[in-house]
Structure 1
Amino acid sequence: MLAALPASAERWHRGECSYLSDEYQAPRYTLVLIIDDIGNQLDNGRAAVELPGRLNYAVLPHTPHGPQLAELAHRYGKEVLLHQPMSNLGHKALGRGGLTPELDRNHFHQILTAALASVPHVRGLNNHMGSDLTRRRPQMEWLMAELSARQLYFVDSRTDKGTVAAVVAGEASVPHLSRQVFLDNQRSEEAIAERFDYFIQLARERGLAVAIGHPYPETIAYLQRVLPKLTHSSYRLALVSEVLDTSAPGSAAAGP
């Protein structure tokens, strides 16, 4: 069982605590940061969830620590997504709950329903891997029909440039965003810092940017240092649902 949180910790993780300087200016640029692959490791997962600010956590289905970490994220005022495994061109193992092109629609529905039920407080879904399945229009139409019926949003992780997922989401009127930046394909501090700077640059150019990172120790350590600095800046961290409440679906088109 998770221990009760002090009131100050609850407020900090909801983004309600402020230590703004006199030079603070109202935020003009929005950063949507999603941490993927939550659920298999408790310590790294908890360290990721305890990062400051309004962050989003994509939790793998049927993982040993996924429900506990999703509950903690929700208590901190963060947002929870289902990190749905989908077939990939490299034929990497998906684990339990994976969606593949061999499934008929009934089995597709059953697997997706069980995956959603395994993670509490889900507000939307993004794909884990999926370089194969997100290229397939029929399966993406099945997915978006399910999300529409459940009033859930979709974030295209864009693991392959041939993805049609965001296009199909738009056709189905499913609120959606697309990933623009992966923070930690290379796990060195220098590489993560370079990608985070690019994330900031895109937000400055477009008003909104979407990045995905992972609960790697290197990523967590870097974000622990840099995220508090945003409080003094013209950038704001946002939950996916906040962005989709105020902008047209798909307003964050994918970039490199």
Structure 2
Amino acid sequence: MLRRALQLGLFCSLFLGLPASAARWQVDECGHGAAVSQPPRYTLVIIIDDIGNQLGAGRSAVELPGRLNYAVLPHTPHGPALAELAHRRGKEVLLHQPMSNLAHKPLGRGGLTPELPRERFDSVLQAAIASVPHARGLNNHMGSDLTRRRPQMEWLMAELADRQLYFVDSRTDKGTVAATVAGETRVPHLSRQVFLDNQRNPEAIAERFAHFTRLARERGTAVAIGHPYPETIAFLQQALPSLASGPYRLALVSEVLASGHVETNKP
């Protein structure tokens, strides 16, 4: 039993980024051990991007356990159905808004670019929002170009403010001014600290997840973005249930914003 407890503590330390002492064990007079639950102290916000083009991958993502957030691309064949499914299961839905990028990658339908005049910009954005049911807010898809541009970010935040929607800066470029403009216009906002799966292999994803939990311990709250890749889904299927025995809680973006946590605005 002692060996089992030590193994659990080591697992928590190496895999989930928990200090070994976070997995406390109680042993009764017969030598039977059980984990003693600790109240959650650290908040993890996980957003799964790029939902909508693939039904199977989207379903697998939405079926992950816990209070997760799903960013749905506009005008995609399966976006509305997956947004409805996520909403019914108590998840949170965001619009994953395509924006111009420095690599000039194609945006697909609903993309925002600096060439759009204000009226057209607003109409494209409004149509994108309307295409995703139950969207509580918006985060940028790509956007390494547009999020650096103050005028377009001011237009974006004006629309979000009118609709009482929040913004999550995916921080696809270190020169982004999006979160700054959101703050100036009083749009509730968070910023991403960790991409979980820039490298699509289990070891790299595990390392990024451990970094994610370390940031949560340092700041109280941390925000990570992943994608509906098979490697990411498989990892989270194993990792998320294990959080229940530690000092972490999964949270919806709206819950964190309502709590007034500001630490997550830091990159």
TM-score (norm 2): 0.86
Aligned equivalents of 1:148, 1:251: Cα separation in 2 = 22
Mark the runs of 5 or more structure 1 residues left unpaired by the alignment.
Answer: 1-20
Matches within 5 A, 1:120-135: 120-135=133-148
Quote the residue 1:75 is aligned against.
88
Is this contact kept in 1: 2:69–2:91, CA < 8 A? yes
Is this contact kept in 1: 2:170–2:192, CA < 8 A? yes
Is this contact kept in 1: 2:60–2:233, CA < 8 A? yes
Deviation at 1:22, TM superposition (A): 5.0
Give the secondary-structure state (helix, strand or coil) at the position aligned to 2:264.
coil
> Aligned letter for 1:239?
L
> Aligned letter for 1:66?
G
Quote the residue 2:220 is aligned against.
207
Larger radius of gyration: 2
Deviation at 1:253, TM superposition (A): 2.9
Quote the residue 1:188 is aligned against.
201
Is this contact kept in 1: 2:219–2:263, CA < 8 A? no
Deviation at 1:251, TM superposition (A): 3.0
Give the secondary-structure state (helix, strand or coil) at the position aligned to 1:252.
helix
Aligned equivalents of 1:168, 1:253: Cα separation in 2 = 12
- Is 2:239 the counterpart of 1:226? yes
Q: Percent identity?
A: 78
**Structure 1, residues 59-109: CA drift from partner, whole Å, max 9, x if none?**
000000000000000000000000000000000000000000000110001
Quote the residue 2:14 is aligned against.
none
- How much is the aligned-residue C-alpha RMSD, in angstroms? 0.8
Aligned equivalents of 1:56, 1:83: Cα separation in 2 = 11
Q: How many residues align?
A: 234
Aligned equivalents of 1:93, 1:184: Cα separation in 2 = 21
Runs of 4+ in 1 over 2 A off after TM superposition: none
- Is 2:159 the counterpart of 1:154? no
Quote the residue 1:137 is aligned against.
150
Matches within 5 A, 1:3-14: none
Aligned equivalents of 2:98, 2:81: Cα separation in 1 = 19
TM-score (norm 1): 0.90
Quote the residue 1:165 is aligned against.
178
Aligned equivalents of 1:245, 1:81: Cα separation in 2 = 16
Quote the residue 2:255 is aligned against.
242
Is this contact kept in 1: 2:74–2:110, CA < 8 A? yes
